[in-house]
């Protein structure tokens, strides 16, 4: 059996790796995603005051710290049995919409767009944000930078710090929003609504009007049927901050809608010897291995999953785009993995519109932003929709609020099985009879993975030095046959 290793991923983290195993005919037998293990997080948290976790858990990952901050804050609310005042919930949601805007813009323009604006098999040296700007123009580049910075500014004002926020407290937030801040946020939010419209138009002009790209999105290589999970509000519309968690089957029928605190009744975790990352699956359906379809308990999270589980978007512009997407993709749920990029932009539109709504909410400057906790702390679960999918934080404490147990299921964990399946399907569709040795094909395998925008071992901020994209091909005895390296900036 031949073995191909893609390590590390381009435009993704420096330590992940895809192993592709070929059979004697040179076709793909199996493909696996391997991630490095970060050790000792539970132990690190144990024995600390639970109200510190909203400041510690965002350090796991430098990418979506605000998602961890809020999931953790909500879990701590639950541990202390305290319900924050309405305005505190609105401030948290406002802050979180700004985070979504920030994160989704960065993903689309820096990571997703290069594959489409420049083409999936284009020269890797050009296939990055600089290449995108060379094509679409410097003005748009400036808009990307400005809109992102505005979203970051809102997070900083509310959160107290730009990346690692400190605003979430059990029972509320640390400070209110002043009228001056509100009015500044409102101006920024208006621009974000416009920029989101522009981004969707760009997607429509560049991707949807190009038959080649539409064929790639709709093709078998990036198609997989699965269950989907995401948070919805009382009207079953997408919500990032609060609500019940809904699961639909591959035909779009609701399987279950549950409260965050009941997640362990719904989800179980399978382990495999070759990776430390567990494989969550739906208990009711069961684990059938790394396979898709109705009989397999594998489910997906992230933007497309959120849209698939919901009945629609709660804001008008996003709703119109939602309808357009499903009519183009041929109905709901959509099983086209690459449609995640489209769904992400529709969510960008929603986040911007919702942000503006909250900025215009009469109650948002109410100074009573906290309910002081008085009950004895015990146990609690907090869930938010992170940019990359459903994020669970579950804490148990002693009567003094000292942490006894921490359990997290992160977005990438939820998607672990699905990512392995998607990579295998893409590899099977693209690699035939040992024909693997072109960068273009390998990038198209990576695109299956990139659609999920996985977050693995993100905390490692080390400069990795000279790290080539390395592809190692082994024959069936495990002997190295060929080694390809490329430096891609």
Partner 1 sequence: MRTLVLGLGNPILSDDSVGFRVVQELRARLDKPNLTLVESSASGLNLLDLITGYDKLIIIDAIKTEGGESGKIYRLGAENLGAIRHSASPHDINLPTALELGKKLGAVLPQQIIILAIEVVDVTTFSEKCTPEVAKAIPLAVSMVAEELESG
Binding site for partner 1 (CB under 8 A): 8-14, 16, 36-41, 43-44, 56, 59, 62-63, 65, 106-107, 110-111, 128-130, 133, 138, 141-142, 145, 148-149, 152, 162-164, 453-467, 469, 487-489
To the nearest whole angstrom, how small is the minimum distance from the Cβ of residue 143 to partner 1?
10
Please, which residue, 285 or 488, has the CB nearer to partner 1? Answer: 488
- Residue 106: CB minimum distance to partner 1, A: 6
- Nearest to partner 1 of 273, 465 (CB atom): 465
Minimum distance between the CB of residue 310 and partner 1, rounded to whole angstroms? 24
Computed on alpha carbons and rounded to an integer, the radius of gyration of the chain in Å comes to: 22
- Cβ proximity of 257 and 244 under 8 Å: yes
Q: Least distance to partner 1 from the beta carbon of 489, Å?
A: 6
Considering the complex, what minimum distance in angstroms separates the CB of residue 214 from partner 1? 26
Residue 419 near residue 426, CB atoms below 8 Å? no
Supply the minimum distance, in Å, between the C-beta of residue 138 and partner 1: 6
Nearer to partner 1, 25 or 402 (CB): 402
- Label residues 454-472 b or e (16+ Cβ within 10 Å = b): bbbbbeeeeeeeeeebebb
- Of 16 and 373, the one with the shorter C-beta distance to partner 1 is 16
Residue 60 or 309: which CB sits closer to partner 1?
Answer: 60
212, burial (CB in 10 Å: exposed 0-12, middle 13-18, buried 19+): exposed
In the complex with partner 1, the residue whose CB is nearer, 106 or 193, is 106
Minimum gap (Å) between residue 39 Cβ and partner 1? 5
DSSP 8-state assignment for residue 73: H
- Tell me the torsion sign for CA atoms 13, 19, 267, 217: positive
- Could you write out the DSSP letters of every residue in 131-189? HHHHHH-HHHHHHHHHHHHHHHHHHHHHHSSSSS---EETTEES-PPPHHHHHHHHHHH
26/21 Cα distance (integer angstroms):
9
| Cα angle value 236/194/90 (rounded, 5°) | 45
State phi, psi for 478 to the nearest 5 degrees: 85, 10
Least distance (Å) from partner 1 to the CB of residue 434? 27
Taking Cα atoms as reference points, which of 343, 363, 354 lies closest to residue 316?
354
Sheet containing strand 227-232, edge to edge, reads: 254-258, 244-248, 227-232, 299-300
Nearer to partner 1, 261 or 467 (CB): 467
C-beta of 376 vs 460, nearer to partner 1: 460
Residue 63 CB, shortest distance to partner 1, in Å, is: 4
In the complex with partner 1, which residue's Cβ is closer, 420 or 457? 457
Q: CB-wise, 36 or 312, nearer to partner 1?
A: 36
Cα 91 from Cα 366, distance rounded (Å): 10
Residue in 472, 443, 455 with CA at minimum distance from that of residue 419: 455
CA-CA-CA-CA torsion for 222, 226, 232, 237, nearest 10 degrees?
A: 60
In angstroms, the CA 249 to CA 38 distance is 33
The least distance separating partner 1 from the CB of residue 71, rounded to whole angstroms, comes to 18
């Amino acid at each position: 059996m031949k073995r191909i290793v893609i390590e590390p991923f381009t435009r993704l983290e420096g330590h992940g790796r895809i192993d592709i195993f070929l059979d004697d005919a040179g076709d793909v037998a199996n493909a696996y995603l391997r991630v490095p293990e970060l050790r000792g997080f539970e132990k690190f948290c144990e024995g600390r005051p639970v109200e510190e976790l909203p400041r510690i858990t965002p350090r796991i990952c430098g990418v979506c710290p605000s998602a961890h901050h809020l999931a953790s804050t909500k879990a701590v609310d639950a541990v202390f049995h305290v319900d924050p005042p309405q305005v505190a919930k609105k401030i948290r949601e406002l802050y979180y919409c700004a985070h979504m805007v920030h994160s989704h813009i960065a993903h689309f323009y820096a990571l997703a767009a290069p594959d489409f604006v420049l083409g999936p098999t284009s020269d890797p040296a050009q296939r990055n944000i600089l290449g995108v700007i060379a094509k679409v123009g410097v003005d748009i580049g400036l808009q990307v930078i400005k809109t992102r910075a505005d979203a970051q500014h809102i997070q900083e004002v509310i959160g107290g710090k730009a990346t690692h926020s400190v605003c979430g407290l059990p029972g509320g937030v640390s400070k209110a929003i002043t009228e001056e801040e509100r009015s500044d946020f409102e101006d920024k939010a208006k621009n974000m609504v416009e920029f989101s419209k522009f981004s969707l138009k760009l997607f429509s002009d560049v991707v949807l009007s190009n038959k080649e790209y539409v064929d790639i999105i709709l093709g078998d290589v990036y198609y997989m049927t699965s269950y989907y999970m995401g948070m919805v509000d009382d009207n079953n519309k997408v919500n990032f901050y609060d609500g019940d968690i809904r699961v639909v089957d591959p035909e779009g029928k609701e399987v279950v809608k549950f409260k965050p605190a009941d997640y362990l009744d719904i989800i179980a975790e399978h382990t495999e010897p070759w990776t430390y990352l567990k494989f969550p699956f739906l208990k009711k359906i069961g684990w059938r291995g790394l396979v898709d379809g109705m009989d397999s308990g594998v489910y997906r999270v992230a933007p497309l999953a959120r849209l698939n589980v919901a009945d629609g978007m709660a804001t008008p512009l996003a709703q119109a785009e939602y309808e357009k997407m499903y009519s183009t993709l041929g109905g709901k749920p959509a099983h086209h993995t690459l449609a995640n990029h489209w769904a992400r932009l529709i969510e960008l539109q929603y986040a911007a519109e919702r942000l503006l709504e909250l900025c215009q909410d009469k109650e948002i400057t109410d100074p009573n932003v906290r309910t002081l906790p008085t009950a004895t702390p015990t146990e609690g679960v907090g869930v938010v929709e992170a940019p990359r999918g459903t994020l669970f934080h579950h804490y148990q404490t002693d009567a003094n609020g000292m942490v006894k147990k921490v359990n997290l299921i992160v977005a990438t964990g939820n998607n672990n099985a699905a990512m392995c399946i998607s990579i295998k399907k893409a590899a099977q569709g693209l690699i035939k009879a040992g024909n693997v040795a072109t960068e273009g094909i390998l990038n198209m395998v990576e695109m299956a993975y990139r659609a999920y925008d996985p977050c693995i071992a993100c905390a490692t901020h080390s400069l990795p030095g000279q790290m080539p994209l390395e592809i190692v091909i082994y024959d069936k005895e495990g002997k190295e046959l060929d080694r390809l390296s490329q430096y891609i900036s």
